[in-house]
Structures are given as C-alpha cells and as structure tokens.
Chain A
C-alpha cells in the first residue's frame, strides 16, 4: 500500500505527460487533466490516512515494505524499501494533503495557460519524488527523491521558459542544490564505510550505542556533511540564493515546492537522522547558529522588499531558519510541528498572493497595490488570518510552534542559550512587522493601482478561494494538534534546565507582546499617509540600499566564485588543454604525417637514374645480408 501511495502520482505524471502535452499530440482536454492530475493525489492522501490508521492499529510499530532488491554489493543489500512510522505519517499527510489542495488551486490559476497539461504532469512528478523522499527507508532512496524534487523544481521554476530569466532562475536553483548535494554524498559515503548500511533506522540504532560499541565514525562529521546537503535544499546561508529567484515560477509552484514541502526536506532529513545528531553536539551547535543567523538575515531583507512574492520568499527562508534552530537545540519534534504549521499558513499566504496577482492581471509590485480589501474580500480575509498566524498571534497555529521553538532555544540542555533566544526573538519581531507591512500595503489604505488594472479587479474562482478558506482554517486551528507530543515516542523533546523553568510563562507573554508590537509598528508606519514610511526610508538610506540589494551576496558569489571559474574554464581548460594540447597533438600528428610524406615523396623525382642507383644499393645490401651465413 505504501508503494501505491508513491506510484499514484507517477501514474498521473505519465498519463498527463504523454497525453496532455505536445509530446502526445494534445489528445485529451482539460477535464481529463484535472481528473487525473488532482484525483490521483487525493487518492494518495486517502491511502495515507488509511496507512496512519494501520499504523495506529499496529501500536505504532513501523510499517516496512520492501519493494525491490536493487543491488547486492559485497554482503550489504541495497533495496528500494518504504518505511512508515509517526514522522513519516506526518510528512506524508502534509505532502499529499497540502499538495492535493494546491493542485485544485492550480486548476483555477492556470486555467488560461497554454501548457495546462504539462503543468499538472510536472506537479505530479514532484509529488512522486517527494513521497519517495519521505517514505524511503534507505538514504539512497531518499537521495533519489532528493534529486528528483530538485529536478521537478527546476522544471517548474522555468515553466515559462520562453523568458530567459525564468530559465536562468531554474538553473540557479538546480546548481545551488547540487553544491549542497556534494556534502550529502560525502556523508553517505562516510556512513556506508563505517556502518555498511544506508538504512536510516539501522543507522539511528547504531548510533545509539556509546563507548566501544559506537560506530567508528564521528557523529559530528556525518552530521555536518548531511547538514551541508540540507543547506542547499532548505536555503540556509550560504546556499540560500536560489529561493528568491525561484519566485519566477508560477505561484502554485512557489506555494507547494518552495514553502510547504520541498524546502522542508532538509528539516525532515535532520529530524529523521536524529539518532546521529543526538550524539553530535558540535554539529547541532552549527545547525542552531546557521539557522538563527539565516532567520535574522532573511528577515532584515524581507523588511524592504517590494515584490509580494519576494517578501514571502525571504519569509520562507527566515522560517526555515527557525526550524533549523529548533533542530539544533534538540527539539526535533518541535521543528516538525513548525513544518506543519508553516505549510498551512505559508501555502495560504502564497496562494493568496497568487489570488491577488490573478485579480490584478499580473501585477506583483506592492507599491502599485492598495485598497483591495473591499474588492477581493475572501482573499483579504484568508491572507489576514495567515499573516496573523505567521506573526505568532495566539491562538493561531504559528503562535504555538514558534513559541515552543523560542522556549527550547532559550532553555534546552542540548545547546539552548539566551543569545539564541535574543536573536530569534528579534527575528520574530521583524517577522510580525514585515508581514503586517505586506498586508497593509497590499490590501489596505488608498489604492495606488493603475486605472486599467483597477477596472478589472475581480475575486478569484471558487477553485482558488475554496482552497484559501481551507488553508486559512487550518492555519487558525492547526496549532491544537499537539504534534510534538504525538512524535515524542520517536523524537524525544530535549530536557530543560531546572533553574530556567520559571522563565517559561514570562517568555510566552513576551513573544505575544513582540508579535503585537510588530503589528502596531506596521500599522503606524503603513496605515497612515505614505510619507511616514518614506521619511524613515530616507533617514536610513544607506541601510535601505544595503538591504534592498540583499547584502549583495549574489554579486559577491559572482565575483569570487563565478568569474574565476569561468576564467579557469576558458583559459586553462578550453584554450590550453583542449585547443592547444589535445587538438594540437592530434593536428600535430597529422601534420607530422604529412611532412613525413612530403619528405619521402621526394625520392620519386621521375629520374630513372636515381631508381637504378637504388637498385644498385639494394644489390649491395642484399649481398651484405647474405654474408651472415657465409
């Protein structure tokens, strides 16, 4: 049955990919695409729910399905096997559930696109790979899914590839991912060499031993290497540069891949390998620091962005930083909880942004929006709920997960410290601020839209608004699931310093205060006349320029890495090795042959005298040769 969950989207990809695209001659119409493209993921979701019940029935003993023995190298078998336990159940439900509703949303959003069938085929392909990733038992199967989602992301970011900028963004995403994958592969090699297996449950069990029975490899080394892979996939510093550019893809893609599921694959990997990270305090410290630094850094950039999707992109990077912070201090279950709530409200935000863009006929610059609240009320309502959720206003979902992260960042015995809490809290303040800024600039205040755009503003169809309502509802009540306790038997919550227990309630109150402060700040600056924000921007013009340029990191990479690499390829490999050395050698041999031929051909100058002289010399030689035997 687990196999069915994985294969159904693949079937959808094949059917739509062959029949509904130019490849198969556009044989089927939109209804077929919709039924196959949305129906199969919904069936997969139903099967995932059933699998959860089966798991419950079996007292939460993990379900294992071995599908195919791929290879046997030495005495270790490599199998394609699926593994279903609590963590997998959560991830599978999110992937298929949120994935299915985004498919339904796309029916409305992409209705006028000429590559309708291709879009759904790619979306189903992505689902297949993502399910392979979360259901895989061995790191190899996970890696296949890892690479596959990278491929699907590339295909979908560059979906409108007629525009070269989109294709370049897709390329950037894929290449940055691959750089992280180098670390991932090294981690896999080290693990295999030390333990002889890549099955994750076996690896976790092996690392549970300490002392003489412990594995022969440093857990921190493995942890850092795997984290490098996670950095690439989940857009942490320094490999975060692809995620903002990935907004070039259609909005459902941004919602599904770059908010709810693919970017959380890194978080899932670390949580799944918790057995390793529990024994690796240095690696965990690195993860926590990188996570909180990324969160802070991305939040500062989001404050000044003017494209509605870019704000949400940097917000995603920031929230992912929060998740890694939780992982770094040992609160694996809390990080997964934040994954779930983030999937709800970030998908809602992205789809809401898509609805706004759809209503405005393609406009994405918030400086040209405003006053939309009355024109597109459902979108505004759902967007507002999701914004409140991400800001951490109780009792919405984001409040619960973010507050737990902040608490463990402060108090966990496995690496929590007040410094982490301070940076994280500052980030939470900025999160609330920029999200409400976005809400105000987009929906409230006076309209700054172009007149023709303003005439055509209309609410989105039910396929889109229905999904928005569903996701907003989940953002509102999703916090009460108490996921960390559900996951606790598998992913234990970290122990907390006894002396710090009495800080718990004050910190809770403080985080609510910070959220409301962000809301208030945004209301003051952006709710009134635009000159207030303008004056602030001019006061801090230098900082503003620095933030708008995203700290000029892309330019730095270009100058430090890109240009030397291009120089190396051009000068050394192309000119020197390929042209001069290889071509030169081959052409030189040809020239040598021709020169030799030219020299030898001078023997034949047509003079019979010379030929006869050669006969004479031949006779001399033959006679001398015959003397050997005399």
Chain B
C-alpha cells in the first residue's frame, strides 16, 4: 500500500499510457468506423489524463475540450451522416504486410534512436508545471502575433468552407440541368 501511494504518479502514468496504446491498437483492428471513433476518443481522454499528471492542467482541459469536444464530435457526426456500416469487403488494404514491416522498422529506428540520445532534461518531467494564468499572460503578451495569425488562419478556414459550398452548389446545378 505504501509502495502504491509513494509511486502513485508513476503507476498512474503507466496505466494511462497503456490504455492509450490499447485504444490506438483498437483503432487499427476494429471494423466499424463508429467503434474506431470511440477508440480514438478514449485514447485522447487518456492522453488528457497524462497531461494532467504532468501538471499542465490547462492543456489537459484544452485536449478534452477541443479535440474530443469539437473534432471527434464532428467526426462522429459525419460518420452518422454517411451511415457507414462497413460490413462487407476486406478490412485491410493491399499494403498490409509491407505496412507492418515498415511499422516495425519505424518503431525500431525511433526507439533505438531515443535510447541512444535523449537530450538531458533541465528538470524531470512534471517539475516545471505552471498554471493557466501564467500561460494566458505570456500568450497574449509575448506571443500576440501568433495569436493574430491564428485568427487569420481561422478566417481563411471559414472562407474556404464557404467556397467549397459554393463550388459544390454550382456543380450540383450543372449536374442537374446539364
């Protein structure tokens, strides 16, 4: 019990990490897209948990809010819109075997690379935590330019979305009358 309480952080970290991996693995294996989406949601939530354990709580909040709350909801909406059942046909593409071979290679190379040289941390993980106020102040003071550019990016996204709608409507009309 003492051992458990003393190393709780590390154990929780291991647990969350394992669950995230399981979720990721399920994404590859599951057949139906809805289930795949749910596996991804679980991975993301566990990642949020890891962020929290590291002390950056606001990023954890952002992870859940933005990724799960916006991105995955949108994804689920689209899956439901297209009524995808995916029951028939082969599950995997033609490149299954080469893919797995490549995957092993990539993993091996990365892991060996990390093993050999990881830059010395200035502090152990979980040491330099800071709160949202620190973050907010520096974000809007020093990095205001990046903030504005992000707004520009979002405006561009909106414009692009409207352009897509227009193009698709024009294509529809031509398809119907032509």
Contact = CB atoms under 8 A, between A and B. Distances in A.
Touch A–B, Cβ below 8 Å: yes
A630 B116 contact: yes
A624 B116 contact: no
A619 B117 CA distance: 18
A613 B94 contact: no
A609 B113 contact: no
A623 B111 CA distance: 11
A623 B94 contact: no
A616 B93 contact: no
B95 interface: yes
B102 A620 contact: yes
A298 B94 CA distance: 92
Nearest to A624: B109
B69 interface: no
Categorize the interface residue count of chain B.
10 to 19
Interface of B is mostly: helix
Contacts of A617: 102, 105
A623 B109 contact: yes
Determine which residue in B94, B99, B102 has the highest number of CB atoms from chain A within 10 A of its CB, and name it. Answer: B102
A627 interface: yes
B54 to A, nearest CB: 26
A417 B99 CA distance: 104
Given A630-B116, A630-B117, A613 B109 contact: no
A610 interface: yes
A620 B116 contact: no
Contact of B105 (A610, A620, A626, A627): A620
Determine which residue in A607, A616, A617, A627 has the highest number of CB atoms from chain B within 10 A of its CB, and name it. Answer: A616
B103 A616 contact: yes
Interface of A is mostly: helix
A619 B106 contact: yes
Nearest to A616: B102
Contacts of B102: 613, 616-617, 620
A627 B93 contact: no
A623 B113 contact: yes
A620 B106 contact: yes
A319 B117 CA distance: 106
A623 B117 contact: no
Contact of B95 (A613, A620, A630): A613
A108 B116 CA distance: 110
A607 B98 CA distance: 14
B167 interface: no
Given A626-B113, A630-B113, A613 B106 contact: no
Contact of B106 (A607, A616, A627): A616
Nearest to B103: A616
Contacts of A620: 102, 105-106, 109
B109 to A, nearest CB: 5
B8 interface: no
B110 interface: yes
Interface string A579-614: 000000000000000000000000000010110010
A7 to B, nearest CB: 85
Contacts of B110: 623
Nearest to B109: A623
A294 B95 CA distance: 91
A613 B116 contact: no
A627 B98 contact: no
Interface string B71-101: 0000000000000000000000111001100
A623 B98 CA distance: 19
Contacts of A616: 99, 102-103, 105-106
Contacts of B93: 607, 609
A592 to B, nearest CB: 29
A613 B98 CA distance: 8
Given A609-B95, A613-B98, 8 more contacts: A609-B93, A616-B103, A616-B105, A619-B106, A620-B102, A620-B109, A627-B113, A630-B117
22 contacts: A607-B94, A607-B95, A609-B93, A609-B95, A609-B99, A610-B95, A613-B95, A613-B99, A613-B102, A616-B99, A616-B102, A616-B103, A616-B105, A619-B106, A619-B109, A620-B102, A620-B105, A620-B106, A623-B110, A624-B109, A626-B113, A627-B116
Closest 10 CB pairs of A and B: A616-B102, A623-B109, A609-B93, A609-B95, A620-B105, A620-B109, A613-B95, A630-B117, A620-B106, A630-B116
